[in-house]
């Protein structure tokens, strides 16, 4: 018995010594599944459980501040490679042995790990959006500061277009002296080139900031004198990675002030799997927003399935992030008037279906009301980069504007085309009043939007963008606001403007409200009194208290005259609260398990548990077999 006991004891000791002698990577991978899984994206967990332990995987690791050196040391110890250091975002892009991933997640300084997912790209807009009418207005500071342009054209503001590159030789990007307005060209794909071989980024940039020098100004962008920052993350085939995008955002964290970059356009996206609380893209754009930049992102183009059935719950990341202005696609039917505008069938609808998993392995969905607004996105004419892949593959997209390569234009459709309309508008708002905050700009755009009749809140958010109304309201906003401004102080320098706009002879009401995560806030106080949620580093949803029973106004952040709507509605064309109730907003709360797969919601189906478009491939505006409402090939 003693011999047997000694043998067992020495066997245990030998095993301990042997384990201690193993490399760190093997020690970590030997640890069993535990509560560390909440630190892992669910698709990453599936990879780990697949049994392919010898596989290597590219991942994004988020970690606590001041832990970079520890993260780097750990990476080498487990046999990993650092592919990108994202210092400003407290992230690393790593190549790790799959067997070591769960052990890395156990480290106390690690916050979350997710795959480095593949990235793929997503009428007269000046007239139909009300931009032409807004140009007659003057910046609030034009008379006080000589450097402020008297014309509202984006002067002095830079827009970062994070996409497939921009054709620097295209005439639409020149200023009045013929000098290019592209002030930065950077490549994050590894191809070491910044021109647009794919064709998507040039088109997007021209919608935001194309000039009036082509076709007599018929295709002028929203902010035609804004500067452009070209951050190329998609390669010549329209492909990239999440780490490419994070590297561009990391650069913006450090360099935005140098170039006065105030707006970031993301006409790209990936299926939203992880909750915005964990998603590295959402976390990155939240940091960017806290740096006082407006981030505008495409909702996506997954609004119907292969059979043409309308579906809900397919808002892309980072459009599922509360701080982002998420933009869906409207169809202007090729007219300048807005009376016939509709929501496109293909634009992605809310609510957001990203989720966290609780200790009982239940998914708890974010269920945020998205998109925030919509803008024209169907068959939009924009600049064509020479020899680009999209046009070469589909020559029918040529708009036949000019044979000159520096003036060639083409058609594209999708929420990616709607997004730069909002980005250009944000640039105009910053020119009008440089002291506006991202939250206030978002509120102004929603409050002045036009609810489109026949579309519900999960399709259009607050409604279609109204540049004229947004500019007229922003011009009156005080320029001395700060986080120390008291709740309820006057927001405007004069009486509130009439809450309606006339474009091309047609008058419509403003939405008269804003979206606050799971609620709709209503009332005049939103534009006449300062709300604490308009401060830097705050979200509009921070003004609403929530529990499983419902929502209420937070009296410390919203004035008492602000009310909350109890329902999302199918609009009758009036305000955001007018129409047929579509969804009781209290259902978006509770345990977050609303809308399991296959449950009918209104006039469509909800896509949720485990169903993804592309299964982790980032999509934005790639050619599909689908067509737009007028038969043109759809770009998504």
**Both tokens of residue 615?**
């299964």
Q: How many CB atoms lie within 10 A of CB 624?
A: 14
Mean pLDDT of all residues in 104-115:
94
d(CA 70, CA 72): 5
234 — pLDDT class (breaks 50, 70, 90): very high
Mean pLDDT of all residues in 306-328:
93
Instruction: Name the nearest CA neighbour of 439 among 288, 284, 294.
Output: 294
Residue 484's region, left for phi above 0, alpha for psi from -120 to 50, else beta, is alpha
Tell me, what DSSP letter sits at residue 520? Answer: E
d(CA 518, CA 512): 17
Question: How much is the pLDDT for 617?
Answer: 31
Question: How much is the pLDDT for 397?
Answer: 92
> Mean pLDDT lowest for which of 2-16, 58-72, 448-462, 530-544?
2-16
d(CA 244, CA 334): 36
**Both tokens of residue 158?**
């830079």
Question: How much is the pLDDT for 446?
Answer: 98
Question: How much is the pLDDT for 31?
Answer: 34
Looking at the DSSP assignment, which residues form a beta bridge with residue 343?
330
Please check whether residue 269 is in contact with residue 240, taking contact to mean a CB–CB distance below 8 angstroms: no
d(CA 128, CA 214): 18
Give me the percent of the chain exceeding a pLDDT of 70: 81
3-class SS at 87?
helix
Would the pLDDT of 146 be above 80? no
List, for residues 533-590, the tens digit of each pLDDT value. 999 999 999 999 998 778 999 999 999 999 999 999 999 999 999 999 988 898 888 6
d(CA 345, CA 341): 12
Mean pLDDT of all residues in 378-384:
92
Between 117 and 397, the more confident residue is: 397
Q: How many CB atoms lie within 10 A of CB 469?
A: 29
Question: How much is the pLDDT for 501?
Answer: 93
Tell me, what DSSP letter sits at residue 551? Answer: E
Between 605 and 122, the more confident residue is: 605
Strands (E), 64-215: 81-86, 91-97, 110-115, 118-120, 158-163, 182-187
Residues 6+ apart with CB under 8 A from 296: 263, 264, 265, 266, 324, 325, 327, 419, 420, 422, 423, 426
Mean pLDDT of all residues in 396-422:
94
List, for residues 323-352, the tens digit of each pLDDT value. 999 999 998 877 777 777 889 999 999 999
Instruction: Name the nearest CA neighbour of 496 among 468, 524, 466.
Output: 524
Question: How much is the pLDDT for 117?
Answer: 84
Give me the percent of the chain exceeding a pLDDT of 90: 68
**Both tokens of residue 189?**
């794909």
Please tell me the number of Cα atoms within 13 Å of 357 on its side-chain side: 17
Q: How many CB atoms lie within 10 A of CB 401?
A: 17
φ, ψ dihedrals at 81, nearest 5°: -125, 140
d(CA 211, CA 179): 12
User: What is the topology classification, in CATH, of domain 120-477+600-623?
Assistant: Rossmann fold (3.40.50)
| Residue located via tokens 């921009």 | 166
List, for residues 446-479, the tens digit of each pLDDT value. 999 999 999 999 999 999 999 999 999 999 999 9
Considering the chain, tell me which residue range(s) the CATH 3.40.50.200 domain(s) occupy. Answer: 120-477+600-623
203 — pLDDT class (breaks 50, 70, 90): very high
User: What is the topology classification, in CATH, of domain 2-116?
Assistant: Alpha-Beta Plaits (3.30.70)
Considering the chain, tell me which residue range(s) the CATH 3.30.70.80 domain(s) occupy. Answer: 2-116
Average pLDDT of every residue of the chain: 85
Tell me, what DSSP letter sits at residue 18? Answer: H
**Both tokens of residue 268?**
């790209």
């Amino acid at each position: 018995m003693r011999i047997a006991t000694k043998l067992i004891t020495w066997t245990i000791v030998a095993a301990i010594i042997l384990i201690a002698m193993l490399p760190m990577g093997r020690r970590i991978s030997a640890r069993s599944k535990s509560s560390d899984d909440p630190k892992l994206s669910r698709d990453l967990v599936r990879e780990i459980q697949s049994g392919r332990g010898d596989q290597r995987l590219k991942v994004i690791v988020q970690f606590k501040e001041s832990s970079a050196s520890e993260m780097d040391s750990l990476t080498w110890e487990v046999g990993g490679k650092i592919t990108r250091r994202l210092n400003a975002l407290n992230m690393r892009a790593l190549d790790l042995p799959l067997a070591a991933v769960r052990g890395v997640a156990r480290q106390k300084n690690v916050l979350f790990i997710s795959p480095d997912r593949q990235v793929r790209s997503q009428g007269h807009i000046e007239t139909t959006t009300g931009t032409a009418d807004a140009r007659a207005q003057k910046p609030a500071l034009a008379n006080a500061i000589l450097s402020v342009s008297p014309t509202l054209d984006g002067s002095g503001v830079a827009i970062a277009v994070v996409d497939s590159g921009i054709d620097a030789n295209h005439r639409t990007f020149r200023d009045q002296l013929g000098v290019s307005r592209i002030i930065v060209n950077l490549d994050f794909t590894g191809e070491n080139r910044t021109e647009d071989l794919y064709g998507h980024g040039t088109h997007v940039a021209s919608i935001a900031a194309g000039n009036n020098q082509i076709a007599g100004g018929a295709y002028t962008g929203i902010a035609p004198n804004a500067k452009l920052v070209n951050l190329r993350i998609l390669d010549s085939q329209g492909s990239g990675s999440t780490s490419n995008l994070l590297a561009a955002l990391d650069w913006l964290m450090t360099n935005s002030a140098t170039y006065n970059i105030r707006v970031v356009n993301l006409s790209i996206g990936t299926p939203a799997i992880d909750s915005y609380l964990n998603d590295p893209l959402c976390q990155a754009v939240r940091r960017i927003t806290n740096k006082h930049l407006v981030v505008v992102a495409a909702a996506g183009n997954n609004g119907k399935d292969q059979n043409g059935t309308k579906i809900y719950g397919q808002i892309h990341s980072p459009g599922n992030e509360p701080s982002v202005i998420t933009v869906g696609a409207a169809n202007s039917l090729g007219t300048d008037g807005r009376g016939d505008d509709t929501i496109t069938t293909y634009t992605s609808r809310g609510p957001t279906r990203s989720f966290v998993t609780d200790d009982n392995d239940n998914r708890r969905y974010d269920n945020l009301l998205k998109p925030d607004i919509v803008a024209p996105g169907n068959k939009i004419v924009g600049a064509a980069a020479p020899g680009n892949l999209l046009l070469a593959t589909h020559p029918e997209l040529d708009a036949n504007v000019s044979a000159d390569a520096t003036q060639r234009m083409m058609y594209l459709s999708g929420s990616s085309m709607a997004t730069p309309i909002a980005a250009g508008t944000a640039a105009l708002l910053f020119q009008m009043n440089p002291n506006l905050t991202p939250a206030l700009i978002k509120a102004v755009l929603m409050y002045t939007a036009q609810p489109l009749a026949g579309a519900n809140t999960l399709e259009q958010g607050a409604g279609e963008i109204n540049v004229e109304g947004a500019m007229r309201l922003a011009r009156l906003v005080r320029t001395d606001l700060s986080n120390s401004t008291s709740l309820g102080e006057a927001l405007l320098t004069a009486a509130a403007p009439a809450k309606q706009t006339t474009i091309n002879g047609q008058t419509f009401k403003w939405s008269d409200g804003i979206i606050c995560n799971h609620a709709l806030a209503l009332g005049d106080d939103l534009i006449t009194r300062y709300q604490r949620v308009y401060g830097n580093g705050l979200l509009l949803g921070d003004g609403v208290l929530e529990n499983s029973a419902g929502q209420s106004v937070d009296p410390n952040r919203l004035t008492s005259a602000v009310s909350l709507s109890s329902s999302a509605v199918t609009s009758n064309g009036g305000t955001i609260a007018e129409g047929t109730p579509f969804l009781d907003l209290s259902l978006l709360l509770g345990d977050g398990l609303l809308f399991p797969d296959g449950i009918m919601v209104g006039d469509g189906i909800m896509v949720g548990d485990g169903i993804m478009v592309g299964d982790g491939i980032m999509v934005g505006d790639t050619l599909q077999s689908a067509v737009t409402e007028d038969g043109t090939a759809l770009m998504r």
